[in-house]
Amino acid sequence: MGRVFYKQIILNFISFFEYWSIIGEGENMKQKVKLVSVGHYLPEKILTNADLEKMVDTSDEWITQRTGIKERRIASSGETAATMGVMAAKDALQKAGLSADDIDIIICATITGDYQTPSTSCLIQKELAAKKAFAFDISAACSGFIYGLDIAEKYIASDPSKRVLIVATEKLSSVTDWKDRVTCVLFGDGAGAAIVEASNDSSGILRSELNSNGDNYDLLIIKAGGSKNPASQLTLEQSQHFLEMQGNEVFKNAVTDMKNAAVKVVECSGWNKDDIKLLIPHQANIRIIEAIRKRLKLKKDQVYINLHKIGNTSASTIPIALSQALEESRIQKGDKIVLVSFGAGFTSAGMTIEW
Ligand code: COA
């Protein structure tokens, strides 16, 4: 009896050990997913703070002090979210040495798509002639690029043969009320794109943290044009097709949510502040970025900022900044990178990547 009992205990111990070895192996064997290339596109037209002084009751001094923005790009009338997205995608394909035939999935993050339907990703797919790719849009406002990366990572983890093109593109000038000084000084147009595939070494996405809080949906909103308030004479008269914002409340939530998301992914990755080569935050306001930098105890050169030249391009800010940082050789293989964002919804997201 005693011998059988001890034998059972030993067998239980062995199966427990085997179970944890398999789980542990599973963690280590998790397919890593990497960004092969990042591209961007910016329209030629530059709108400076001096130009805005002629349009609304504002000043270069106020805009610079309160936001950090000096100028932003504005799309021409012929340019749209899709056409800019195509340009950014072509840049990413060319940098990766790939063609549109190599893409299996196109995810487009935008809140200013060309149409309510069809999706902007389908227009991009057509223009690229990415015949074998299926395409869909996501609406996560300024967090859209990180949401898209996270979806791509999970998809490739389950089918490592797939390659995903993520395009973030915004023509915010088309939903900006150029008479509202609170919003019109903030936004700009542009697009960024990344190609994502299975990694064959230690490089790739490490951790991601996505959050949404619909309680505050009405603090940053385009009220009309959807099924709740379809376009009408009244909605036009009341300027409800423009982006409206409760700036102060958005600001407070952005600081808290971006700080939390950044701290969480950095801690979960087991990194300390000196490990981080570059933080690439959503470029909405220099004071928000400074608050996050201080919370993470980073030096100024550990944070990438292009806000002064480009303004807030919603979903596009992070891939544009990533693309520029790579072009400027601010990121090298093996570097530890943190992305963090906040946007309408509210949505927020953080991600760590070993390049
Ligand atoms: N020029 C001059 N004065 C302006 C102005 C402008 N462009 N915009 C607002 N003001 C005025 C306001 O009317 C107000 O005047 P009052 O005190 O006489 O009423 C004063 O400046 C302060 O306004 P307030 O809204 O409190 O300013 P702020 O310091 O919060 O800065 C934002 C405003 C919009 C720059 C800031 O709230 C912000 O960046 N919010 C978050 C934006 C954001 O991240 N949005 C997108 C998220 S993805």
List the chain domain ranges: 33-200, 205-354
| Torsion angles phi and psi, residue 319, rounded to 5 | -65, -30
On the question of pLDDT at 17 being above 80, the answer is no
For residue 193, pLDDT beyond 90: yes
Decide: 207 in ligand 1 pocket, CB within 6 A. Answer: no
Is a pLDDT exceeding 90 seen at residue 25? no
Q: Which amino acid, 266?
A: V
Does 236 have pLDDT greater than 60?
Answer: yes
247 C-beta closer than 6 A to ligand 1: yes
* Angstrom distance (rounded) from CA 326 to CA 335: 11
Q: How many angstroms is it from 100 CA to the middle of ligand 1?
A: 43
CA of 220 to the centre of ligand 1 (A): 13
Structural class in CATH, domain 33-200:
alpha beta
Quick check: 164 and 155 in contact, CB under 8 A?
yes
pLDDT single digits (tens) 339-353 = 999 999 999 999 999
Ligand 1 centroid – CA 275 distance (Å): 35
Q: How far apart are CA 205 and CA 279, in angstroms?
A: 14
Does residue 289's CB lie within 6 angstroms of at least one atom of ligand 1? no
Task: Take residue 243 and report the two structure tokens written for it.
Answer: 């982006």
**Lowest-confidence segment of 20-24, 50-54, 82-86, 262-266 by average pLDDT:** 20-24
Under the banding of pLDDT at 50, 70 and 90, the label for residue 33 is very high
Average pLDDT rounded to a whole number, residues 67-91: 98
Distances (CA, A) of 117 to 14, 120, 137, 167, 220: 57, 8, 10, 17, 22
| pLDDT score, position 29 | 62
Residue in 139, 147, 182 to alter for ligand 1 test, most ligand atoms within 8 A of Cβ: 182
Predicted pLDDT at 2: 53
Residues with catalytic function: 142, 282, 312
Average predicted confidence (pLDDT) for the chain: 93
* SS3 annotation, 308-327: HHHCECHHHHHHHHHHHHHH
Q: Among 59, 253, 285, which residue has the most ligand 1 atoms within 8 Å of its CB, making it the best to mutate?
A: 285
Cβ of 351 below 6 Å from ligand 1: no
Residue located nearest, by CA, to atom 41 of ligand 1: 251
**CB neighbour list of residue 49: distance below 8 Å, 6 or more residues apart:** 58, 59, 60, 63, 64, 69, 70, 71, 185
CA separation for the pair 355, 344 (Å, rounded): 29
On whether the CB atoms of residues 316 and 191 are closer than 8 A, the answer is yes
119 vs 20, residue with greater confidence? 119
- Which residue's CA is the nearest one to ligand 1's atom 14? 182
Q: Are 138 and 148 in contact (CB under 8 A)?
A: yes
Our answer on whether the CB atom of 250 is closer than 6 Å to any ligand 1 atom is: yes
Inter-residue contact 343 to 245 (CB < 8 Å): no
Position 3 pLDDT exceeds 70: no
**33-200 matches 205-354 in fold:** yes
Choice from 147, 216, 248 to test ligand 1 binding pocket (greatest atom count within 8 A of CB): 248
Report pLDDT digits (tens) over 136-150.
999 999 999 999 999
What pLDDT, on a 0 to 100 scale, did the predictor assign at position 31? Answer: 84
Statement: residue 23 has pLDDT above 70: no
pLDDT digits (tens, 9 = 90+) for 81-90: 999 999 999 9
Average pLDDT for 315-331: 98
The proportion of the chain whose per-residue pLDDT surpasses 70, expressed as a percent, equals: 92
Q: Ligand 1 in contact with 284 (CB < 6 A)?
A: yes
User: Going by CA atoms, what residue is nearest to atom 7 of ligand 1?
Assistant: 181
Give residue 8's pLDDT.
59
Fold adopted by 205-354 = Peroxisomal Thiolase; Chain A, domain 1 (3.40.47)
